[in-house]
Amino acid sequence: MNDPIRRPRQPSKAIPSRVERMDSEEFIQLLRQNVWLILVVVAAVMGGTFWYLQRETPVYTAQSAMALTNSEVRISQVDTQMEVYDLTRARVETELDRLRSRNFAEEVAESLDLFDNTKFLPLDPNGPAMGSRERGRAVIDKLLGSYSLQRSGESLVISVMADAEQPQLAADIANAVVETFIRLSSAQQVTEIEKSTEYLRRQIETTGEQLALEQMQMADFIRENVLDDTELPERLRRERSHQASVLAVMDGRGQNDPAERARLEKNLAEVEDQLAARTRNEMQLSRMERSVDLMSTRYQTMVERLNQLEPQRDQIQPDARQVTVAEVPFEPSWPNIPTTLALALPAGLMLGFILALLRSSFSRQIWTGAQATHVSQLPNLGNLPRIRGRGLLGRRLAPAWTLRRFPRSEYSEAIRALVTIWSSQAARDKGRKLAMVTSALPNEGKSTVATSLASVAALDGMRVLLLDFDPHRAGASLMIDGNLKTSSLSQLNDGTLPVEDAIAAVPDYTNFDMLRIDRDSRLTPRAIDDFAANILPQLTDAYDLIIIDTPPVLGVADAARVGMLADETLIVVRSGKTPERALQNCVERLEDSGVQLSGTVMNDIEQRRYRQMNLGGGYGYY
């Protein structure tokens, strides 16, 4: 027996942080701990999804497709001629953007008469009025949101997916987008041809007028300058030669007739002037002829281009052709209840698992011995499975009866292993005969563990005494026999009640006794000291093992006081019930009171988890 006055130990340090990866056993344990949470989340997700889908308005989807031509025909703005260009990626992207534009959507809406269709966009009493600009914008916005475009890679095929609440409207929208694109592309080409032909007509008319005017001017110029007389230059040259010859003869003969000479010189000068004027007029006529020829060529060219463009108007090839005509769908594409529920199932499982992880991270309950060791900084000496229920109703029987009736059950083997550990520790210290069993909170199984330890030790041949120092509930006594007599602690201490009279034998056991104090006994420090001085020496001489069952540590102060009597103290931790903070406070309180702590005992572990965690076992496995 240890000295009741013991030097207090230093309080335990704060719980160190622990970072561990979740292994397969911890994963299975997490699923088992939160299986109902996961199932509830899955049921809620699927139920909410089904309720939402039932309230959704059915939407029908129709698909049409068109193939763009490999090349496009355009009229050159330089020479107003038809030119063929290869279709580039940039051109395809431009066409896709045009299909998504508001102007194009307006054309589609007009072709389907959607602006006045109240089924497509119902009238809202507080919304825009029929025919207003705001309603037009709303119709275009809804139409743009009702169809989408898809293109696979570098393919020239564009698929149009249209959604609507009416199946016929869905097919109409899908087909109208393609038809409107084809119609607008053809109309655009026709418009360009008409603009070009109109431009050519105006140019031909203007050029024709200018050509006629220049021809008239050239004719007048010829007539005015007698350019149509082709012999006139030759006559003037002969006249010039004659006048020059006469002057030369007069100079040779020495005739000096001033009047005649002046007349001849004047005639010669006039002839020279006429020849020079004739040359200048011929050059001007040449320029006028070249201008008329050039204008005539332009006129003929424009006439030819006009003759080429006018037949093209009736031979226009659109920029695309429809390859798939949208059919009226029979079943709605949304809501797709089977597919959506099939997707909701893994989503619910994932959400449930995430919530389970969050619950596990926020949960401070202790589930395993390793967790108890981490929190308490004490070794975990045993893992006790839940006592299996017996009979049709699955009643959980008293530990003493269960251990005697089923000595090879999982629970019996686990208790026996705990006693073995305690016995091996007691063998190293011959004075260790008293073990206190307590817990942090009520209903954690401390009385069950204390009764089980005493029963197994007695079955193994040890003389065992169970001290029920829990006057409030007397859990250990009720598990043994509810009619066991009670004793007053004060009477035991003052000797008015002999110890032999206070001790009662446990039924069906030969070397298992019990001492139960009554509810009126107060476990004051004075009473504990008197019990240690007067009663405890007699008990340690008579028994091999004394187990003390006390109230919870955090409930009352009795456990810390009684713990001064014990050589060692076991703290019972109930799997999945004991909070980490409660265990830590329990250890700190007992250490501050100077109680010798040996370790923890995990209690009430589920049987299946008990096997999977490989925490021990016996013949009950086989």
Cα dihedral 12/359/552/13 (nearest 10): 0
- What span, in angstroms and rounded, lies between the C-alpha atoms of 484 and 468? 11
Give the chain's largest Cα–Cα span: 201
Average pLDDT, the chain: 83
- What span, in angstroms and rounded, lies between the C-alpha atoms of 35 and 190? 71
Q: Note the residue count of the chain.
A: 622
Instruction: State how far Cα 529 lies from the chain centre.
Output: 67
Between 181 and 125, name the one with better pLDDT. 181
- What span, in angstroms and rounded, lies between the C-alpha atoms of 469 and 476? 9
Percentage of the chain surpassing pLDDT 70? 87
- pLDDT at position 7 is 42
- What span, in angstroms and rounded, lies between the C-alpha atoms of 284 and 274? 15
Q: Are 560 and 553 in contact (CB under 8 A)?
A: yes
With a cut of 70, say whether residue 550 has pLDDT above it.
yes
Place of tokens 């004739």: 278
Amino acid in position 387: I
| 228 to 157, 218, 231: CA distances (angstroms) | 70, 11, 9
Least confident of 67-76, 425-434, 562-571: 425-434
Instruction: State how far Cα 584 lies from the chain centre.
Output: 40
- pLDDT at position 521 is 82
- pLDDT at position 217 is 92
Amino acid in position 254: G
334 three-class SS: strand
- pLDDT at position 434 is 86
With a cut of 60, say whether residue 154 has pLDDT above it.
yes
Per-residue pLDDT tens digits for 414-436: 888 888 877 776 555 555 578 89
Between 495 and 614, name the one with better pLDDT. 495
Between 150 and 244, name the one with better pLDDT. 150
Segment (H or E) for 193: helix 167-224
With a cut of 50, say whether residue 1 has pLDDT above it.
no
Amino acid in position 31: L
Cβ neighbour number for residue 497 with a 10 Å cutoff: 15
- pLDDT at position 73 is 57
- What span, in angstroms and rounded, lies between the C-alpha atoms of 1 and 536? 8
Q: In 3D, which of 346, 326, 343 has the Cα closest to residue 334?
A: 343
Kindly give, in sequence order, each residue whose CB lies less than 8 Å from that of residue 184, ignoring residues fewer than 6 positions away.
Answer: 104, 107
- pLDDT at position 9 is 46
Per-residue pLDDT tens digits for 472-507: 788 888 888 767 788 888 888 888 888 888 888 888
Mean pLDDT, rounded, for 549-570:
87
For 214-235, b/e burial (b = at least 16 CB within 10 A) is beeebeeeeeebebeeeeeeee
Between 583 and 523, name the one with better pLDDT. 583
Mean pLDDT, rounded, for 587-614:
79
Cα dihedral 312/66/142/145 (nearest 10): -140
With a cut of 90, say whether residue 312 has pLDDT above it.
no
Mean pLDDT, rounded, for 83-102:
83
The overall pTM is greater than 0.85: no
With a cut of 70, say whether residue 20 has pLDDT above it.
no
Q: Which residues pair with 503 in a beta bridge?
A: 515
- pLDDT at position 75 is 55
- pLDDT at position 39 is 93
Between 192 and 212, name the one with better pLDDT. 212
- pLDDT at position 510 is 86
Question: 94: exposed, middle or buried (C-beta count within 10 Å: 0-12, 13-18, 19+)?
Answer: exposed
Structure tokens at 516: 């139960």
Least confident of 347-351, 511-515, 553-557, 588-592: 553-557
Reported confidence tier of residue 21, pLDDT bands at 50, 70, 90? low
Q: Rounded to 5 degrees, what are φ and ψ at 388?
A: -70, 135
Least confident of 76-80, 182-186, 297-301: 76-80
Structure tokens at 500: 């032999």
